[in-house]
Amino acid sequence: MLMKYLVRVIKYFVYLTVILTLFIAVLIAFKMVGTNVDEIFRDGARSLWQIAGIIAVFAAVYPAMGFTRRGAIVPGSYAEVRNDLVKVMNDRGYVLESEKADVPGQERLTFRKRSPLLRLTRMLEDRITMDKEVAGFTLEGPSKDLARLIGALEFKFRTPEA
């Protein structure tokens, strides 16, 4: 778990650094700022370390808030809900990546975004893992996606005709 967190921190640090670099390159290309570091930043090269520090703090904090584990109430056995579950996820732009249902009560489904472009913009951090629990499923993945997915799943399984 710690290793996954560290990998996410490094990915976000690189991602944010590249975005900021591209932003500054655009400003330079449109001649909105000079080409010298001392002209771009108030404290010159010293500012680069300050910016890197700010990016490092954000990159270290974001994975803790941006990824979570939440439960979804999905009544029924795994065999009863499996096909509808996959259909709901497909409707939301996810495809089944793997399924582990060897031992009853320990079923696990893993989904990824269907679009390679969306996967790339999320730095391949788009995986949703679903573990079967007594009252439904526990979902793990990006927080903003989980909120929408849990709402869709609970709506589907509370109103079967939907």
- Give the model confidence (pLDDT) of 97-153 as tens digits: 999 987 777 899 999 999 999 998 888 889 999 999 988 999 999 999 999 999 999
d(CA 94, CA 112): 5
Rounded Cα distance, 112 and 124, in Å = 9
The 10s digit of each residue's pLDDT in 3-39 is 989 999 999 999 999 999 999 999 999 989 888 888 8
161 has pLDDT over 80: no
Give the global pTM: 0.79
pLDDT at 14: 95
pLDDT tens by residue, 33-84: 888 888 888 888 889 999 999 999 999 999 999 999 999 999 988 889 999 9
Report the pLDDT averaged over residues 80-98: 95
At 124, list the tokens.
């391949």
Would you say residue 89 has pLDDT above 80?
Answer: yes
Spatial distance between the Cα atoms of 24 and 5, rounded to a whole number of angstroms: 29
